[in-house]
Amino acid sequence: MKPVLYLDKRSPPVRSVLLLIEALGIDVEEKFIDLSRGEHLSENYLEITPLHTVPTFRDSNVTLTDSHAILVYLCENYGKVDNTLWPSHPIERINVLNKLFYSGTLLFRRDSDAIGQIIVNKLKKQQVAEHAIKLEEQYNILEEFLTSNKFIAGDHITIADLSIVTIVSTIDMIVPVTAEKWPKLHNWWYNHMQKLPYYDQANCNGLAALKDWVQRSTDFEVNM
């Protein structure tokens, strides 16, 4: 039986899993959970995950409810032995894990605070600007990471890059990533991540749909 991915492609964590699925060529069954219609709160979905979040991934004997765990699981179970997206060397691996935790606990939190409140509370321009300050701080942090390393967790692309790029591309609708202010981050995103052969397919459709949703919720001019 194929593994099942419960998803709404507007979600950045979902899109990071889709990037990896494309990168590894994994065949999954997609089940759409429409967040805008509240399907994540339905009784059926709550039985699958009490967290009522997407993505959720189900394989023969596991149900995983966190994108970072899913990324690791897919590499370990569906990746090639020499899969550099999830390096085998212990130091390289812990560096990737460290950045995945940053992505999940801080970067995504800032992103979802801003986007979630715009959508739910219909924030006005001035209130969005307050979030922008915190988002810029995250770009500064990422700029630091990319000053020490060419990629987020080392000298080559890993699942940490796949996790973070979907969030950066989402935040960009509020604070555009400019080459003047964040040259390394800009270069990483435009010249490396956007050039991945599976980037458009896995990230761009869901991102465009999220931008539409956000634009309909605020008077702030979203960067399309």
Binding residues for ligand GSH, rule: CB under 6 A, are 11-13, 35, 40, 52-55, 66-68, 104, 112
The token pair at 219 is 């008077």
Single-letter residue type at 170: T
Query: Closest separation between CB of residue 50 and ligand GSH, Å?
Result: 11
Q: How far is 164 from 107, CA to CA, in rounded Å?
A: 8
Of 52 and 181, the one with the shorter C-beta distance to ligand GSH is 52
Query: Closest separation between CB of residue 116 and ligand GSH, Å?
Result: 8
Of 105 and 201, the one with the shorter C-beta distance to ligand GSH is 105
Query: Closest separation between CB of residue 59 and ligand GSH, Å?
Result: 16
Of 4 and 181, the one with the shorter C-beta distance to ligand GSH is 4
* Cross-sheet strand order for the sheet of 56-59: 29-32, 4-7, 56-59, 62-64
Beta-ladder partners of 58:
4, 63
Of 18 and 186, the one with the shorter C-beta distance to ligand GSH is 18
Neighbours of 199 (CB within 10 A): 21
Q: How far is 12 from 113, CA to CA, in rounded Å?
A: 13
Q: Buried (b) or exposed (e) across 127-137, using 16+ Cβ within 10 A?
A: ebeebeeebee
Of 131 and 186, the one with the shorter C-beta distance to ligand GSH is 131
Query: Closest separation between CB of residue 81 and ligand GSH, Å?
Result: 26
Query: Closest separation between CB of residue 40 and ligand GSH, Å?
Result: 5
Beta-ladder partners of 56:
6
